[in-house]
Structure 1
Amino acid sequence: MNQHQNDITNPSIKNLFEDKNLAFVATLMKDGSPQITPTWIDIIDNEILINTALGRVKQKNVTRDPRIGLSIADHNNPYHMVTIRGEVIDQITGEMAETHADKLAKKYLNKDKYPFKAPGEKRVILKVKPTRVTYI
């Protein structure tokens, strides 16, 4: 097991983000209990990006308390994995978030447009700053 404070630049870690692996993202509910969701994940220029919709539980949770945890296991070898603790340092909406949802749909589903958008839904990118990184 290797621990690198804040370091997601390792090529093995970046590969976990760049492949079709789901991230299990944990946020904190108002009462302090954990909430966890399997989520599409991305990394661009060593920044962790999670795309969700405004008003979803995880987005509301990180707006109130920016602490977040995530874990990714390689779908081909679940013993190759990374866990990250961090905080959401920015929430990006608008065209950038909509385009990013399409990019993730291409990665995970091989579809050009995000197919699950509900009428009136607005996408948001949660930008995560890691504070603790552990990988094997």
Structure 2
Amino acid sequence: MTATFDEAVRARLQAPSIRYVGTVFADGAPRVSPMRVDLEGEGELTFNTSVGRVEEENLRRDPRVHLSHADATDPFARVQISGVVARFNEGEEAHDRMDRPAREYLGSERFEWIVPGEQRVAVIVRPVRVRHIVGVERFRPGGSVPAL
């Protein structure tokens, strides 16, 4: 099952901003990394990492990923996306994908900080659940209000 993005979520994803990408260590502990995440076509997301980095290793072992983003002016307006890795793109294509964020964030035509021998990996994520929350989140159906 693939989730879709409404117009408000799509607009947030298209704006240059850092998202928080959560992966899972082998022992089940969470790991969260700030990353640039882009729309890939109409319904997938993509971010870039390198072979041997923690998020790449975590995702090759366990393809579950969670992305979170809070609005800079209202941190209670947020988007949370749960998904799974659909594929990894490597080689020149992954290196070329680093140029767009370099233009947006650094004003440079090329991403100039590739380490010699570094192998970039573009991670393509299929969203499974998308939540756009504004304000205080409601209790889950059937959930109870905590006693004071």
1:92 aligns with 2:89: yes
Structure 2 match to 1:75: 72
1:35 aligns with 2:31: yes
CA contact (8 A) 1:27 1:58 kept: yes
2:16 is matched with which residue: 11, 20, 23? 20
2:120 is matched with which residue: 115, 120, 123? 123
Pairwise CA distance, 1:79: 3.2
Cα deviation per residue 1:35-76 (whole Å; 9 max; x = unaligned)? 110001111312200111111100000000000101012334
RMSD of the alignment, in Å? 1.4
Show the 5 A alignment for 1:52-67. Answer: 52-67=49-64
Max Rg structure = 2
Give the structure, 1 or 2, with the largest relative contact order (CA under 8 Å, sep 6 or more). Answer: 1
| SS state at 1:78 partner | coil
Q: Given the two structures, how large is their TM-score scaled by the length of structure 1? A: 0.89
Q: How many equivalent pairs are there?
A: 131
Runs (5+) with no aligned partner, structure 2: 134-148
| SS state at 2:52 partner | coil
Greater percentage in strand: 1
| SS state at 2:123 partner | strand
Pairwise CA distance, 1:102: 0.7
Q: Given the two structures, how large is their TM-score scaled by the length of structure 2? A: 0.82
Runs (5+) with no aligned partner, structure 1: none
Structure 1 match to 2:136: none
CA contact (8 A) 1:85 1:130 kept: yes
